[in-house]
Structure 1
Amino acid sequence: MAQIKGDLILILVTLAAAFGWLCSQQILLEAAPMQFMAVRFILAGGLLGLILYPQLAAMNRQQWLTAIGLGLFFAVAMLAWVKGLAMSKHLGESAFICSLAVVFVPLAGRIVYGTKFPLFMLWPLLLAVLGLAALALDGDVHFEASQLYLLLSAVILAGQFVMTAKHSTLMPPMALAAIQMFMVGAVCAVLAVFTEGVQFTWSESTWQWLWASIVVASLLRFALQNYAFKHTNANNAGMIMILEPMWTALLGAAYLGETLAPNQWVGCTLIFTAILVYQMIRFFHWRKLANTPATGNLESVG
C-alpha cells in the first residue's frame, strides 16, 4: 500500500510539472524570460528557504559551497530551457525534447563519475536521435534554434541530476533544492538587469500565472516529489515520471489548441519510445538484480 501511495503521489508530481510548462509559456507571452525566471525562482527558493531555515542553518561551509555550485550549474540549464521555451512554437514538442535528460543520465554518469555505461543503452539513445531528426524536418533538413536550446538544457540537466543525486545524500535534499532554486533566480536577476532592464508592468493575469508556477510547479512539486520518494523506489519513480511530457502535450492541445505536423508526431513518438524503452531496460535490470542472491541494498539500484 505504501508503494502504491508513493506512485499515486508521483502521478500528481508529473501533473504539477506539466502544469508548470503551461504556466511558463503563458507568462512568457508578456514577461521577459530573464525577469520571469528571476522572480519565479527567487520567490520559490526564498519561501522554501524560510520554511527550512533550521536545516539551512545547520549546513556547514563545504555543504553551502557545494549547493551553490550545483545551483549555478542548474542556472545554466534553466537559462537554455527558458530561451528555448520562449522561441518554441509547440509546448508538447518542447517537453518531449527536455525529457531526453532522462536518457542522457547514463552518459552523464559515465563522464562525471566514470559509471559503467551498458551497451544496450545505445538503443534508446539511437531512437532519441532519430526522434530529434524527425522533429527538425520541416521541408528542409535543419534544426530550429528553440530545439537546440532545449536539447542543450536536457544535456546539462542530466549532468545536474547526476551530481545532485550524489550530493543530496550528504546534505538535506530539500534545503539543497531551496539553494539551487534561489541561485537560478539570482543569476537570472543579474542577467535581467543588464539585458532586459527592470520592468514589472505585467498584467494581473500574468501575475496569477506566475504565482501558480511558484506554488504548484515549484514548491508543491518538489515537496510532493520528496515525500513520494520515501514510499517508492527509483525505478517506479522513473517509469512514472515519463508521464510528464504526455500531460504537457495534452495540456497544450486542450488549452492552447496546438497541432503537430505528421513528422513532428513521428518525432515525439520516437522520443517517447526512447524514454519508455530506457525505463523498461532499467526496470528489468533491477528485477534481475533483485532475483540474484547477495545483491546488497536493492533500493539503491537504478
Structure 2
Amino acid sequence: MSRTLANSLLLLTALIWGSAFVAQATAMKHLGPLTFTGLRFLMAALAVLPFALAEARLRRDRPLDLRSAASFTGLGLVFFAAITLQQVGLLTTTVTNAGFLTGIYVVLTPLVALAAFREMPHPIVWPASLVTLAGIYLLGGGALSALTTGDLLMLICAVFCALHVGLIGSVVRHCARPVLLSVWQFAVVGTAAIIPGLLLEPVSLAAVLAAWPELLYTGLVSGGLAFTLQAIGQRWTRAADAAILLSSEALFAALFGALLLGERLGPTGLAGCALIFAAILAVQLVPMLARPRRAAPAAPTLAPALAPTAAAKPEPATSA
C-alpha cells in the first residue's frame, strides 16, 4: 500500500470519529461511560471477528504466537487507559479543556516514536505538530478554564494516546494481521470496561435500548470500521504523520456539529480549522515534493516494549 493511500485511510478514520462525536455525547444521557464503552467495543469486536477469521485464512504464513498475543493485549490495555481517563476526566473539566489537553498527544507522538522505535519523523512534523495543537486550541474557543483534577487526567490521557498511536504501527507491521489486532484490542477494551461498568454504574435494559442507535453507530462504524482502518493505515505510514492526520477528528467534529446540530464556528474556530487543515496538507505534500532530493527513510525498528520479537524486521512502507 502506498503512503498516500495509507494517509487517506487515516483521514477517513478521523472523519468517521468526528461524525461520531454527537452519538457519543447523546449516549451519555442513558448510559455511564464505562458501560457505554464496554458495550460499544464488544459490539465492534463481534462485528469485525468474521473479517479477522477471513484474514487468518489468507495469512497462514503469519500465525499468531504468544508474543504477538501479549503485544495485542498490551496495546488494548493502553487503549483502554486512554479512553477511560478521557471519559472520567470529562466529569470534572470542560469540553474545551479536554479537547486541547488531549490534543497534546499530537506533539508527544513523534517523541514517543523517536525514543521507543528510533523512528525519525520528517522535519516538517515538528512545526506541523505545534500548528495542529494551536488549531485545536483555537477550535475550542481560544481559552481554557481554571485547571481541575479532570485536566490532569486529560494530560495523562494524552500520554496514553501518544503511546497507542506510536505502538500500533510497529506492532501491526510485525504481525501483518491488522484486522486480528483490531478485534483483539476491541475485546480487551470491551471486557475491561464492561465489568466495572456493570458493578459501578446503574444499568437497565430500558437504558440500553434508549442508547441503541448510538451504540450501533459508535460500535460498528466509528469503532469496528474506523479503528480497523487506523490499524491498516498505520502499517504503512509514520506514527508522527498518523497523529497529525488523526487529530483532524476535531476539525470534522466541528463540521458535523454545524451540519447536524446547527452549531456555528466564530472567527477563532474557523482560524483553528484552517491551521489544522494547513498542518495536514504540509505533512502530506512537503515529503512528496522533497522526495527526489531525499533518501528513502529507513524502516522503523521495534523496541522491546509490546514488540513481539526484538529481532523481527517490520515490512518497509512503499512510496506513494
Give CA-to-partner distance per residue, 1:104-162, whole Å, 9 cap, x none.
21111133234457887554555566667776976x86235555444432331111111
1:161: which partner in 2? 165
Instruction: Quote the Cα distance in structure 1 between the aligned partners of 2:285 and 2:71.
Output: 31
The structural deviation recorded for 1:223 is 4.9
Question: 1:134-173 maps to which residues of 2 (within 5 A)?
Answer: 142-143=146-147, 147-171=151-175, 172-173=177-178
2:47: which partner in 1? 47
Alignment identity in percent? 18
Instruction: Tell me the TM-score normalized by structure 1.
Output: 0.74
Instruction: Quote the Cα distance in structure 2 between the aligned partners of 1:148 and 1:99.
Output: 13
Give CA-to-partner distance per residue, 1:74-108, whole Å, 9 cap, x none.
11011122234566654x87556544433321111
Cα root mean square deviation, aligned: 4.3
Q: Give 2:253's aligned amino acid.
A: T
Instruction: Quote the Cα distance in structure 2 between the aligned partners of 1:287 and 1:218.
Output: 34
The structural deviation recorded for 1:208 is 1.2
- Does 269-278 or 279-288 show the bigger shift? 269-278
Instruction: Quote the Cα distance in structure 2 between the aligned partners of 1:5 and 1:159.
Output: 23
The structural deviation recorded for 1:206 is 1.4
The structural deviation recorded for 1:192 is 1.4
The structural deviation recorded for 1:52 is 1.5
2:69: which partner in 1? 64
The structural deviation recorded for 1:63 is 1.1
The structural deviation recorded for 1:287 is 3.7
The structural deviation recorded for 1:300 is 5.8
Name the structure where helix makes up a greater proportion of residues: 1
Instruction: Quote the Cα distance in structure 2 between the aligned partners of 1:270 and 1:113.
Output: 31
Runs of 5+ unmatched residues, structure 1 = none
Instruction: Tell me the TM-score normalized by structure 2.
Output: 0.71
Instruction: Quote the Cα distance in structure 2 between the aligned partners of 1:7 and 1:127.
Output: 19
Question: 1:26-175 maps to which residues of 2 (within 5 A)?
Answer: 26-53=26-53, 55=56, 58-85=63-90, 90=95, 98-116=102-120, 123-124=127-128, 126-127=130-131, 142-143=146-147, 147-171=151-175, 172-175=177-180
1:112–1:159 CA contact under 8 A, matched in 2 = no
1:239–1:279 CA contact under 8 A, matched in 2 = no
Runs of 5+ unmatched residues, structure 2 = 300-315
Q: Give 1:191's aligned amino acid.
A: P
State the number of aligned residues: 295
Instruction: Quote the Cα distance in structure 2 between the aligned partners of 1:59 and 1:236.
Output: 28
Cα 1:260/1:146, change in 2 over 3 Å:
farther
